[in-house]
Amino acid sequence: MMLVKIASRNILRNARRSLMTMSAIAVGATALVLFGEFVANMTTGLQTQTVRRSGHLSVFRTGYFNFGAGNPAAYGIGDYRSVIRLINEDRLLEPLVNVVTPTVTLFGIAGNFDIDASKTFLGFGAVPSDRDRMRQWDEYGVFRNLVLEDSGLRDDDETRGVVGVGLARILGLCASLKLADCPPRPQTAESPSLKSSARAGALQELAQRDRDTSPSLSNGGAPRLDLLAGTAGGAPNVLSLYVSRAEPQGVKELDDNFVAMHFALAQQLLYGRGERKALGIVLQLHRTEDMPTARARLVTLFTERGLDLEVRDFTELQPFYKQVIGLFGAIFSFIAVIMGVIVLFTVVNTMSMSVMERTSEIGTARAMGVRRRGIRRQFLIEGWMLGAIGATVGLILASVIAFLINRSGFMWTPPSQAAAVPLRVLTSGVGPLNLGVWLGLVVMATLAALLPANRAARLAVVDALRHV
């Protein structure tokens, strides 16, 4: 108790110097906590976007992940319904899983013959109601105040689809979809090239032939695209898609190629009149922390049943996610190291000054019977107190600033997101971050005091008493 009393009074003894030291620690704590909370908000936001789109886990035929892009149809899961039933009925998985849904991914050419335009596309086939449920997922509450737009797909209408804004622009759908921020299509000096005209013509002919055999194609005046894809058997297959809306995709390459469609339509495009398969089965869990458990259980289930399936999580399917997390983690570590070094030098300087000024007191205490370790402990406690007070003030300051930021109304566009979102820092569930920053800085301050404390403890008593 006396040690703490002496330490606190010595801190107040040179109040200005102590204040500067604690301010440096407080600024370090504030910066680290705010940046950590910003990163946490961005990470959870990015994770939420990714999980809403791709789920947590995806089940593929073995080999699809590495080689499927070359021939997706060859890696279809024929009995996908029984696999989904197997997952849904599993005692261990059932409480963990939010959505289990089949998907089809395909490549092809989309054409708008009204303007003789065509473009390769990347198609995603999903069950609309499942997709809608997946879009509601918000484990961390980061989008709780944002209203979701209509998904544009309906279970009862296989012909509806959604395209990326870039693709809509390229294929001349701006006016019909009433897209804002969509520049007018420039008039080219020459007519379309013979090659592209011929390709559009061929596509139109195929579409006309297909339409002749299709039932109802009317769809509330939505603009129509014709999609051409190669079937599993190698034959060209064309179907019409009525675009209900365009959705920005954040990454230009995806935005210029994205087509979301009904699962059945995607199956029809890829497999024609053959056996309809799924290329993947997506699982969205209630909680991300259950991902390893669910994955392990899926692997066990498939092994037990002798199913030739593999499981991948969203971090494998979306390398961008890992890259962004890694980048911000590295920046955070860099800032933490800089702050740590600043705290180290500041505390070493302060404590060294203190040891120098109190040399005679150290000699007196030693003469009175205080052991070397008692002197060391005295200065370590002072370093610890400087760190603890500074870090605590820093955390309080960070809370106030975080409160102000979250109510500032500033907007920004995070990586891989198309639309601007409010600039926020995550203030819930960041206890470990705050504790880590507090402990880190306090430990750093205490360690910084160790050097001057050792010097004080090693002083010869007579030399210390002689010190003026």
Partner 1 sequence: MSETATEHIVRFREVVKTYDDDGLKVTAVDGVSFEIPRRRFAMIVGPSGSGKTTLLNLTGCIDTPTAGRIEVCGEDVAALSDNAVTDFRSRNIAFIFQNFNLFPVLSAYENVEYPLLLLGIAAGERRERTLAMLESVGLADQQAHRPNQLSGGQKQRVAIARALVKKPELVLADEPTANLDTQTGASIIDLMRRVQREQAASFIFSTHDPQLISHAEETFVIRDGRLVEHRSEADR
Cα angle for residues 201, 203, 205 (degrees, 5° grid): 70
Residue 105 sits in the site that holds partner 1 (CB under 8 A): no
Residue 462 sits in the site that holds partner 1 (CB under 8 A): yes
Stretch that binds partner 1, among 144-152, 191-199, 246-254, 364-372 (CB under 8 A): 364-372
Among 158, 226, 313, 361, binds partner 1 (CB under 8 A): 361
Smallest gap from residue 380 Cβ to partner 1 (A): 17
Sign of CA dihedral 122, 124, 125, 128: negative
Among 10, 43, 249, 350, binds partner 1 (CB under 8 A): 10
Smallest gap from residue 357 Cβ to partner 1 (A): 10
Instruction: Provide the CA 418 distance to its chain's centre, in angstroms.
Output: 14
Q: What does each C-alpha distance from 66 to 58, 62, 233, 321 come to in angstroms?
A: 14, 9, 21, 19
Residue 367 sits in the site that holds partner 1 (CB under 8 A): yes
Residue 175 sits in the site that holds partner 1 (CB under 8 A): no
Among 293, 315, 364, 416, binds partner 1 (CB under 8 A): 364
61 neighbors 309 (Cβ within 8 angstroms): yes
**The token pair that represents 194 in the structure block:** 């013979």
Integer Cα distance of 105 and 116 in angstroms:
26
Stretch that binds partner 1, among 6-14, 128-136, 189-197, 302-310 (CB under 8 A): 6-14
Among 300, 360, 408, 413, binds partner 1 (CB under 8 A): 360
Sign of CA dihedral 137, 142, 147, 149: negative
117 neighbors 172 (Cβ within 8 angstroms): yes
3-state secondary structure of 35: helix
Q: Closer to partner 1 at the Cβ: 230 or 363?
A: 363
Integer Cα distance of 322 and 325 in angstroms:
5
Q: What character string, x for contact with partner 1 (CB under 8 A) and - otherwise, covers 196-235?
A: ----------------------------------------
277 neighbors 80 (Cβ within 8 angstroms): yes
Sign of CA dihedral 216, 219, 221, 222: negative
Residue 454 sits in the site that holds partner 1 (CB under 8 A): no
49 neighbors 146 (Cβ within 8 angstroms): no
Longest Cα separation, the chain: 108
Q: How many CB atoms lie within 10 A of CB 282?
A: 24
Stretch that binds partner 1, among 49-57, 325-333, 335-343, 365-373 (CB under 8 A): 365-373
Smallest gap from residue 372 Cβ to partner 1 (A): 7
Smallest gap from residue 288 Cβ to partner 1 (A): 53
Integer Cα distance of 109 and 257 in angstroms:
10
**The token pair that represents 58 in the structure block:** 């995806």
Residue 81 sits in the site that holds partner 1 (CB under 8 A): no
Window 13 to 32, contacts with partner 1 (CB under 8 A): 13
226 neighbors 114 (Cβ within 8 angstroms): no
Among 9, 16, 144, 195, binds partner 1 (CB under 8 A): 9
Stretch that binds partner 1, among 222-230, 250-258, 322-330, 457-465 (CB under 8 A): 457-465
Smallest gap from residue 23 Cβ to partner 1 (A): 22
Smallest gap from residue 22 Cβ to partner 1 (A): 18
List interacting residues with partner 1 (CB under 8 A).
2, 5-6, 9-10, 13, 360-361, 363-372, 461-462, 465
